[in-house]
Amino acid sequence: MMLARVADSLYWLGRYIERAEHLSRLSSVMLNATLDQTGSGAHAVWIAMAAVGEPGDGESVGSFEAAEALVLNRGDPNSVVSSLARARENARQVRDQITTETWERLNLLYLKVTDGDAAKAFAGGSDNFLHDVIADLHLFKGAADTTMSHGESWRFMMLGIYMERAQLVSRLLEVCFAESPVHGQLDDHVALVSLLRMACALEPYLRVYTAEIEPRHILEFLVFDEDFPRSIRFATAQIEQHLSAMARAIGGERAGPERLAGRLKARLQFADVDELEAVGAGPLLTTVVNECARIHEAIYETFVAYPLETRLPA
Amino acid sequence: MRIYAANVELRGRDRRDALESERRDAFGDASKVKRNVEKSVAAKTQTLDDAPTLPMTEAAYLPGIAYDEMFTPDGEVRKHYDPLHGRMSTLGAEELAGRQRTLERSFLLQGITFTVYGAENTTERIIPTDLFPRIIPAAEWSKIEAGLTQRLQALNLFLADIYGDQQILMDGVVPRELVLGAPSYRREMQHLYVPHKAYANVCGSDLIRQQDGEFAVLEDNLRVPSGVSYMLANRDAAKRTFPGTYRAAGVRPVERYPDLLLSTLKSMAADWRNEPQVVVLTPGVYNSAYYEHAYLARLMGVPLVEGRDLVVHENMVYMRTTTGLRRIDVIYRRVDDDFIDPLTFRRDSSLGAAGLFNAYRAGNVVICNAPGTGVADDKAVYAYVPDIIRYYLGEEAILPNIETFLCREPRQLQHVLKNLDQYVVKAVGASGGYGMLVGPHASQKERDAFAEAIKADPENYIAQPTIQLSTAPCLVDGRIEPRHVDLRPFILSGEKTIVTPGALTRVALKRGSLVVNSSQGGGSKDTWVLAEENGHSNGHGNGSVRP
């Protein structure tokens, strides 16, 4: 049993945490790719900016300025600092529900990125800065995992994390494989490696496919891999698992979100990369994004903003 | 972009309400500006030669004319301060400053902060905390404990009476119009059953130590007193800052406060509700005392709810949970009377729940503290507290009041008018817009003008002598200096009345200032109540807890 408002805040806490991590990684990879003055660097910048919804031509604004804005611009609601501020705001609302260890990780990180010297620290070593932010977010997740009860509160937070992850990875793949690319077919080695880095997938990928960096393999890995925690299939399986557990707690007839999640999970379980190549990755990725939006709404209707009449005691 | 959905919108109305409900500082002192604020007297300072010295203070430690917690007027260290004084003397300035920084850092990290919302950016501030504990010997504490217990018992009986048969008003002990005309008197509470007659379940009284070393009550706080989380956080910090001194001193623990609070709240629930559901009601995250609300909820293990989580249906109060509605039995509310129910009190409030008060009247939920307790900590009623104690308990007050003259009484009025140059005169009325007169500092012309105002409306004025607060050593700008302090102990009252053996010591951090409110440069420090008379170790560390 937990308050509906609290569940909502925990869910969003998870989403903002995941978003902050993803944005930090995009910025970091983007900055790194442009160190080599090649066309593939510009391609990586384009992928990152398109994935956050600001494609442009990749050259009008310098990649450092773009990365700095993506990380530190408080005016932009989709920057790392804004995501962390919102994550903390949500955490503060449910301060009684999360452990002190978990809270302190987030609060520390928040104080770091909102510090007056943050811009200076970023300029002085953006790579270190972003590395630390990502590491701190991993510490947060680790603290949550090892100190919080894996009950309802934790499940709502994990649900937020995986919902956000499924959508962010889908979006990243859409940019690379589904939309008509400005930079032509994505087959450049550096750009492909950058893509894997953006999904934090390079090392696990190499373990499975060795150093043969092929678009087909990347797609297969990031969409269908059963064990890689950032594949879409893995994320949807987690979503389904958490929702089923919560549905059991509610008991009975109200089978909303977990049915949708189960359907999406099955869709990914029984598709394969040949099918994707035949029809293009677009339709499946669009399905994932749309289904996630429906699951999101169903979560609200079932757990948070349910109509009172249905729940009043007889 | 579709995937960047967001949930944090400034809930404009909540925030406005939260801010409005909140003309108070982070320790939750509502609009009652402290009476002592205006009572400064020009402090007569000792010369350097009189002053006791501490190794690291460049200028010597000058307590002034006020009672000093650490030094006797002759410059001797009071016995119960010996161990701490020793430690202060051996640690260098560097080390002390380092410990102070560690302390502040840990407060910031834990989020023991209040948020300052600016136009451009929002910042987190901590309430200044001083690392040196304030120490109270066992004998002094037992008097405080007895005095506070007596006082709260009498005030609860008083509340039960004025919201019942009003015997005390019939007997003319307290003027009828003074009580019934007070804005904090809640007609709605009349003839309402309150378990154990415990109207004020949580009370935070403000005590001061006068020049003669005696404690007196400056103010009772029976509405929504706060600051207890600082008491606990300060203790936690002090244990880490002076572990050895703490162990040796034999300090009585305060850590049981959350479970004592929970059992007090549970004792208010109806007998037939086994496993009563307790919740903490907060105005929300924008309230400056939000940290405390979340802290208490977390340590009691009960939900922290906001008004929008509550649903009242057929005079039962429920909260919206993920698995449906769940009934609530006891609400520890940290929302002022005015805001708890828009149907009964302020209509434009969204911080409470519509219908909550009716559910309370119907006996289906308990609100703690009960609405309407504010009438007993009213400025004018304060003057009658010794009479109230005598009336209900047949005892003399153990802890004295600050001497207060009521201009409504003709003889006291004459006395005040004759000696205007010695008193601070203050309007009682809720508006308070009439201002006040600080007699010793005013010109003859001002006094004459004020005398006319008092004569025109004597019922609206009280007068008190100027008072001093005691001083305690604080680390200020790298030096140990005396600063004025008060004392806020917390008393719980349900089936039993319990005084927590500890308190929040509030500090006026500006030199010479008597203002301890956190909104005006005040801070706080830990308060050690000793278990043993001499404060020395009994060989069992801090295990010497008295029952």
Q: Which residues of A touch B8 (CB under 8 A)?
A: 12, 86, 89-90
DSSP 3-state of B423: strand
Q: Which residues of A touch B306 (CB under 8 A)?
A: 5
At A141 the pLDDT is 97
At B519 the pLDDT is 62
- Tell me, letter by letter, the H, E, C secondary structure of chain A: CCEHHHHHHHHHHHHHHHHHHHHHHHHHHHHHHCCCCCHHHHHHHHHHHHHCCCCCCCCCCCHHHHHHHHHHCCCCCCCHHHHHHHHHHHHHHCCCCCCHHHHHHHHHHHHHHHCCCHHHHHHHCHHHHHHHHHHHHHHHHHHHHHHCCCCHHHHHHHHHHHHHHHHHHHHHHHHHHHCCCCCCCCCCHHHHHHHHHHCCCHHHHHHHHCCCCCHHHHHHHHHHCCCCCCCHHHHHHHHHHHHHHHHHHHCCCCCCHHHHHHHHHHHHHCCCHHHHHHHCCHHHHHHHHHHHHHHHHHHHHHHHCCCHHHCCCC
**Range from B117-131, B336-350, B527-541 carrying the lowest mean pLDDT:** B527-541
Q: What is the pLDDT of residues B299-334, one digit of tens each?
A: 999 999 999 999 999 999 999 998 889 999 999 999
Query: Does B303 sit within 8 Å of A311, measured CB to CB?
Result: no
Q: What is the mean pLDDT of chain B?
A: 83
- CB-closest option in A1, A78, A311 to B4: A78
Rounded to the nearest angstrom, the minimum Cα separation between A281 and chain B is: 18
Q: What is the distance between the alpha carbons of residues B477 and A180, in angstroms, rounded to a whole number? A: 64
Per DSSP, B373 falls in state G
Domain count, chain A: 1
Q: Which residues of B touch A308 (CB under 8 A)?
A: 311, 320, 325
Q: What is the mean pLDDT of residues B463-476?
A: 87
Q: Could you say which residues from 207 to 266 on chain A have a Cβ atom under 8 Å away from some Cβ of chain B?
A: 246, 249-251
For helices A4-33 and A39-51, the axis angle rounded to 10 degrees is: 170
Q: Are B407 and B462 spatial neighbours (Cβ–Cβ below 8 Å)?
A: yes
In the predicted model, is pLDDT for residue B543 greater than 60? Answer: no
Query: Does A104 sit within 8 Å of B109, measured CB to CB?
Result: yes
Q: What is the distance between the alpha carbons of residues B278 and B327, in angstroms, rounded to a whole number? A: 10
Query: Does B291 sit within 8 Å of A289, measured CB to CB?
Result: no
Query: Does A104 sit within 8 Å of B309, measured CB to CB?
Result: no
Show Cβ contacts of residue B372 under 8 Å, excluding neighbours closer than 6 positions. Answer: B159, B163, B184, B185, B186, B188, B189, B199, B337
Question: What DSSP string describes B491-519?
Answer: EEESSSEEEEEEEEEEEE-STT-----GG
Show Cβ contacts of residue A155 under 8 Å, excluding neighbours closer than 6 positions. Answer: A242, A245, A246
Q: What is the distance between the alpha carbons of residues A95 and B304, in angstroms, rounded to a whole number? A: 9
DSSP 3-state of B303: coil
Q: Does A154 touch chain B (CB under 8 A)?
A: no
DSSP 3-state of B242: coil
Q: Which residues of B touch A12 (CB under 8 A)?
A: 7-8
Query: Does A90 sit within 8 Å of B322, measured CB to CB?
Result: no
- CB-closest option in B5, B316, B319 to A3: B319
At B42 the pLDDT is 33
Query: Does B303 sit within 8 Å of A74, measured CB to CB?
Result: no
Q: Which residue has the tokens 């910025």?
A: A27
Q: Are A8 and B7 spatial neighbours (Cβ–Cβ below 8 Å)?
A: yes
Q: Which residue has the tokens 């927590």?
A: B500
Query: Does A311 sit within 8 Å of B4, measured CB to CB?
Result: no
Query: Does A308 sit within 8 Å of B322, measured CB to CB?
Result: no
Q: Which residue has the tokens 């490696």?
A: A193
- A127: containing domain: 4-310
Give the percent of chain B with pLDDT over 90. Answer: 48
Query: Does A74 sit within 8 Å of B3, measured CB to CB?
Result: no
**ipTM score of complex:** 0.85
Q: What is the distance between the alpha carbons of residues B334 and B15, in angstroms, rounded to a whole number? A: 16
Six-digit token pair at B135? 């120490």
Burial B186-199 (b: 16+ CB within 10 A, else e): bebbeebebbbbbb
Burial class of residue A14 in the structure, from the number of CB atoms within 10 Å of its CB (0-12 exposed, 13-18 middle, 19+ buried): buried
At B130 the pLDDT is 93
Task: Give which of A171, A134, A199, A169 is closest to A55, Cα–Cα.
Answer: A171
Query: Does A2 sit within 8 Å of B121, measured CB to CB?
Result: no
Q: Does B119 touch chain A (CB under 8 A)?
A: no
Q: What is the pLDDT of residues B11-35, one digit of tens each?
A: 444 444 444 444 444 454 443 433 3
- CB-closest option in B4, B285, B321 to A92: B285
Q: How many residues does chain B have?
A: 547
Rounded to the nearest angstrom, the minimum Cα separation between A293 and chain B is: 8
Query: Does A19 sit within 8 Å of B111, measured CB to CB?
Result: no
Q: What is the distance between the alpha carbons of residues B216 and B347, in angstroms, rounded to a whole number? A: 39
- CB-closest option in B7, B121, B324 to A8: B7
Task: For residue B324, list its beta bridge partners.
Answer: B321
Show Cβ contacts of residue A195 under 8 Å, excluding neighbours closer than 6 positions. Answer: A44, A47, A172, A176, A186, A218
Number of helices and strands (H, E) in chain B?
Answer: 15, 22
In the predicted model, is pLDDT for residue B118 greater than 70? Answer: no
Chain B residue with CA closest to A74: the answer is B121
Return the percent helix, strand and coil in chain B, to nearest 5.
Answer: 35, 20, 45
Query: Does B3 sit within 8 Å of A296, measured CB to CB?
Result: no
Alpha carbon separation from A154 to B275, B297, B298 (Å, rounded)? 25, 18, 16
Q: Which residues of B touch A246 (CB under 8 A)?
A: 322
Sheet of B423-427: strand order equals B405-406, B461-465, B423-427, B436-438
- CB-closest option in A7, A89, A103 to B322: A7
Q: Are B83 and B538 spatial neighbours (Cβ–Cβ below 8 Å)?
A: no
Q: Which residues of A touch B5 (CB under 8 A)?
A: 296
Torsion of CA A82, A86, A87, A92, to 10 degrees: 140
Query: Does B7 sit within 8 Å of A12, measured CB to CB?
Result: yes
Q: Does A78 touch chain B (CB under 8 A)?
A: yes
Task: Give which of B488, B444, B440 is closest to B463, Cα–Cα.
Answer: B440
Residue A78, preceding bond cis, omega within 30 degrees? no
In the predicted model, is pLDDT for residue B294 greater than 50? Answer: yes
Chain A residue with CA closest to B4: the answer is A78
Q: Could you tell me where the beta strands, DSSP code E, fall in B251-307?
A: 278-281, 304-305
Q: Which residue has the tokens 């009601």?
A: B281
Show Cβ contacts of residue B456 under 8 Å, excluding neighbours closer than 6 positions. Answer: none
* CATH 2.40.100.10 assigned to B405-465: no
Q: What is the distance between the alpha carbons of residues A252 and A241, in angstroms, rounded to a whole number? A: 16
Query: Does A289 sit within 8 Å of B3, measured CB to CB?
Result: yes
Give the percent of chain B with pLDDT over 70. Answer: 82
Per DSSP, B402 falls in state P
Alpha carbon separation from B219 to B103, B140, B185, B203 (Å, rounded)? 30, 19, 18, 11
Rounded to the nearest angstrom, the minimum Cα separation between A182 and chain B is: 19
Chain B residue with CA closest to A87: the answer is B8
Task: Give which of B380, B381, B428, B487 is closest to B148, Cα–Cα.
Answer: B487
Q: What is the pLDDT of residues B376-431, one digit of tens each?
A: 988 789 999 999 999 999 999 999 999 888 888 888 889 888 888 888 887 775 43
Q: Are A158 and A242 spatial neighbours (Cβ–Cβ below 8 Å)?
A: yes
Show Cβ contacts of residue B452 under 8 Å, excluding neighbours closer than 6 positions. Answer: none
pLDDT under 50: residue ranges of chain A: 58
Task: For residue B317, list its beta bridge partners.
Answer: B312
Query: Taking the CA atoms of chain B, what radius of gyration do you get in angstroms?
Result: 24
Alpha carbon separation from B268 to B159, B265, B330, B363 (Å, rounded)? 16, 5, 7, 11
Task: Give which of B153, B123, B42 is closest to B393, Cα–Cα.
Answer: B153
Q: Which residue has the tokens 């802290």?
A: B295
Q: Which residues of A touch B298 (CB under 8 A)?
A: 95-97
Chain B residue with CA closest to A50: the answer is B1
Query: Does B321 sit within 8 Å of A1, measured CB to CB?
Result: yes
DSSP 3-state of B409: coil
Q: What is the pLDDT of residues B182-192, one digit of tens each?
A: 888 999 999 99
In the predicted model, is pLDDT for residue B201 greater than 90? Answer: yes
Show Cβ contacts of residue A121 under 8 Å, excluding neighbours closer than 6 positions. Answer: A115, A129
Rounded to the nearest angstrom, the minimum Cα separation between A247 and chain B is: 9
Q: Could you say which residues from 179 to 198 on chain A have a Cβ atom under 8 Å away from some Cβ of chain B?
A: none
Residue type, B57: T
CA angle A214, A216, A218 (to 5 degrees): 70
